[in-house]
Chains A and B, each alone.
Chain A
């Protein structure tokens, strides 16, 4: 079995390890490029959101490379995301590829552990649980790595490039829980040391749709560019927190839900509750501004836009909303982000007023 799945940023390693631990040979598609996006956009319906197009392009490239088993997250609820796989499977079959397609429902963890995975890989549930534990640990490591990278980027961009190269290799090769724990401790220590220097000028909270927060290709490498400009990015969404949320062991969710309840009449599904709750959480922790990113025509995030407007008024904090589609240019986004950062700097200088004193 040559298994493939769509990229999701650094957390790809965690998913890869999960499948490897279950005994599958993982055939990662080539890194996301413009070709991926073009391929995806060519065969998808025109009105669908960007993650559909990128993941479809990913699948096509993986199949070209020789993968024969595809995995895709599923679980039909309010958001469009749960329905992706029906159409993707059909489109890929029409293109003439031979493959097996396994949609993995997000919302039934017990079925996933005790029925679905043992059936596909012919292993026992204990093995699945072991692999799942490894995946959770690894995704925690990936999250720590990303947090660490964010701090270094904001202080010294050149050093962060070397750091990224060095540690990506280490993370990829860490296959045992012991190694992962050691790396985890090391990364936490490095982050603390860098934070001691206290040279951070601006803090910006990044909220929005999960795929866009995790995959750097989708958000036009926004985090990298922010780091280049000397901004510390704070973000809570990761595969680790998502997995914890799905297994219902996410501690922070209660707090986030409490914050979000004031600003939402009904949850419109997707990441709406997390977006609003995290925004307020970041504001209470003292960030200078919030950047909200989502795919063009995303249904839940567009409802959230109205709530964010109100939050911005209530807490007197600037919020920039950016929507991305396949035609979005990096320059256009950068110009808007730079103008936004200029505003934040001026506010900081003048004591939370955007006007000249």
Chain B
């Protein structure tokens, strides 16, 4: 097989993107990464997907359609278990199915990933390059380990924890402005992905019952931050199934402990200004409570 591979800058890109991109880079396969999400891509996705799915999936559909005519193959892995037999989410598992119908069966390459990233990528590499040793070394080079700094809570500023999925909070069109808004108000912002993996993968209490990998991480992050910060902001997309249940659970627990808890639901129609106003009011409330 020869040709250009397209990778979408949406959904799981924000978690496993560096692995896929670097793997293709080290193998010397030409690839194209879709641009950062913008209004046009969102509109494109909204037009071509079911009206009841969440915004991140619609955005992913937009990215797929953007790449469709520019590349020879589209890389949409079927990630069923990212690790330890914990599911991703029905909608993420549905993305390869949607890609089949949006872009045609011949174009989509989707290796099945069940907890193990190496073997599917190795067999994918064999289709493009003949030397297996090169593929192994490309995978080893691509797998970088980011060293996380230990979290230090400074007591100068008020502290806020934003609990949200990585594909919402790191996407500049969807949720990145949230961090800036809180910083402008004079808060130190703590995100889910600042925490160590050991904390995120804990199996204690209610977290043990959650079989969605990323949802368990959210809940563990929430539990960890609960008694360490002054306020918690839970940010999720309209029609997100897992968040609707676990979010309610978090809200109930925060209420018990008396920690301010703000739930923000967004979709393609929600304006930034409305959300910023709500955040400002929330910040004002925390400040007054502290005084």
Q: Report the bound CA distance from A45 to B252 in whole Å.
A: 11
Q: Report the bound CA distance from A86 to B253 in whole Å.
A: 13
Contact flag A45-B97 (CB < 8 Å), given A90-B252, A300-B90: no
Within 8 A of A (CB), among B208-243: 209-211, 238-243
A87 touches B245 (CB 8 A): yes
Which of A48, A307, A309 is close to B245, meaning CB atoms less than 8 Å apart?
A: A48
A87 touches B50 (CB 8 A): no
B52 touches A45 (CB 8 A): no
Q: Report the bound CA distance from A176 to B170 in whole Å.
A: 62
Binds B, one of A76-84, A114-122, A215-223, A242-250: A76-84
Within 8 A of B (CB), among A305-325: 305-307, 309-310, 323
A266 touches B244 (CB 8 A): no
Q: Report the bound CA distance from A265 to B241 in whole Å.
A: 20
Residues of B within 8 A of A44 (CB): 248
A87 touches B248 (CB 8 A): yes
Q: How large is the interface on B (under 10, 10 to 19, 20 to 34, 35 or more residues)?
A: 35 or more
Residues of B within 8 A of A47 (CB): 238-240, 243-244, 247, 265
B52 touches A76 (CB 8 A): no
Interface string of B81-115 (1 = CB under 8 A from A): 00000010111011011111100000000101000
* Number of chain A residues close to chain B: CB under 8 A: 39
Q: Does A303 lie at the interface of the complex (its beta carbon under 8 Å from any beta carbon of B)?
A: yes
A309 touches B101 (CB 8 A): yes
Which of B52, B94, B238 is close to A268, meaning CB atoms less than 8 Å apart?
A: B94
A302 touches B52 (CB 8 A): yes
Q: Report the bound CA distance from A48 to B241 in whole Å.
A: 7
A303 touches B97 (CB 8 A): yes
Q: Report the bound CA distance from A82 to B87 in whole Å.
A: 13
Residue among A263, A268, A310 facing the most chain B CB atoms (10 A cut-off): A268
B110 touches A268 (CB 8 A): no
Which of B100, B242, B247 is close to A265, meaning CB atoms less than 8 Å apart?
A: B100
| Whole-angstrom distance between the Cβ of B103 and the nearest chain A Cβ | 12
B53 touches A78 (CB 8 A): no
Q: Does A267 lie at the interface of the complex (its beta carbon under 8 Å from any beta carbon of B)?
A: yes
Q: Report the bound CA distance from A3 to B45 in whole Å.
A: 48
A306 touches B97 (CB 8 A): yes
Residue among A49, A86, A94, A306 facing the most chain B CB atoms (10 A cut-off): A306
Residues of B within 8 A of A323 (CB): 52
B244 touches A303 (CB 8 A): no
| Whole-angstrom distance between the Cβ of A48 and the nearest chain B Cβ | 5
Q: Report the bound CA distance from A78 to B89 in whole Å.
A: 6
Q: Does B78 lie at the interface of the complex (its beta carbon under 8 Å from any beta carbon of A)?
A: yes
Q: Report the bound CA distance from A283 to B244 in whole Å.
A: 36
Q: Does B128 lie at the interface of the complex (its beta carbon under 8 Å from any beta carbon of A)?
A: no
**Which residue numbers of B lie inside 8 Å of A, CB to CB?**
49-50, 52-53, 78, 80, 87, 89-91, 93-94, 96-101, 110, 112, 206, 209-211, 238-249, 252, 265
Pick 10 A–B contacts, CB within 8 A, sort by A.
Answer: A80-B245, A82-B211, A90-B252, A265-B96, A266-B80, A268-B94, A268-B97, A297-B239, A300-B90, A302-B91
19 additional A-B residue pairs with CB within 8 Å, beyond A47-B247, A299-B89: A48-B244, A48-B248, A76-B211, A78-B93, A78-B211, A83-B210, A86-B249, A87-B245, A87-B249, A90-B249, A266-B94, A268-B93, A270-B90, A297-B244, A299-B91, A302-B52, A303-B91, A303-B98, A306-B94
